[in-house]
Amino acid sequence: MGPGGALQLLVFGAIHGDEPESAELCRRYLARLREAPPVADVLVVPVTNPDGLARASKDNRRDVDLNRNFAARSWVATHPPGYFPGTAPLSEPESLAIARLVDSLAPRVIVAVHQPFRCVNWDGPAAELAARMSQACGYPAVASVGYPTPGSFGACYGVDRGLPVITLELPRLVEEADYVACMQALDYATIWRAKP
């Protein structure tokens, strides 16, 4: 681990199985890190919803939106169509595994890769990081994706726990230039430190 025993950066993709390019960006970034290891410790998990990805379905095999299944204060059982949050927070093995990973490794920065909004969204004390990543990739930095996200990863770890959480949203149609630009943005996250 890095200084102080904490992981600098955790990056994960494909929490929604219908966002395959999020997994591809993670795979490419992981391959690049193997060729040129960063100065800080980084963990990349390309796919966090393997069943959904295999079916090209946003939700997991039990039709749960994993990004509404975290133990955030905002978690609610009521939901619009297509956003079933599960029977309880962390009821799904995939979200539970992510939560245990964050709790055990205590990353300083977390980046969840999504599609299709083409932006750098942040939760917690990450506005400066979002601005820097926005400069690196050319996507706008936004405080909101435009609709509520109760029980989301960002709500749990950014809003409730005060960790720097970035949601890096690729566009729906991803071009080679998007991968290159977003890997530059991820590089910046490997060196960023929150101000005390």
Residue-number span of the structural domain to which 152 is assigned: 3-189
In angstroms, the Cα distances linking 191 to 42, 62, 88, 129, 184 are: 10, 38, 36, 10, 12
Nearest 10 degrees: Cα torsion 152, 153, 158, 162: 110
pTM: 0.95
Residue 39's pLDDT is: 82
Residue 3 pLDDT > 50: no
- Rounded to an integer, what distance in angstroms lies between the CA atom of residue 128 and that of residue 148? 22
Residue 1's pLDDT is: 39
Q: What is the mean pLDDT of residues 111-117?
A: 98
pLDDT tier at 5, thresholds 50, 70, 90 = low
How many structural domains is the chain composed of?
Answer: 1
Domain presence at residue 196? no
Q: E strands within 35-175?
A: 42-45, 109-114, 117-123, 141-142, 165-171
Domain presence at residue 195? no
In terms of phi and psi (left: phi > 0; alpha: psi -120 to 50; beta: otherwise), the region of 192 is beta
In terms of phi and psi (left: phi > 0; alpha: psi -120 to 50; beta: otherwise), the region of 53 is alpha
Domain presence at residue 194? no
For 27-85, how does the pLDDT look when each residue is reduced to its tens digit (9 = 90+)? 999 999 999 988 889 999 999 999 999 999 999 999 999 999 999 999 999 999 999 99
Which CATH number do you get for residue 81? Answer: 3.40.630.10
Residue 196's pLDDT is: 66
Q: What is the mean pLDDT of residues 86-108?
A: 97
- Rounded to an integer, what distance in angstroms lies between the CA atom of residue 33 and that of residue 45? 13
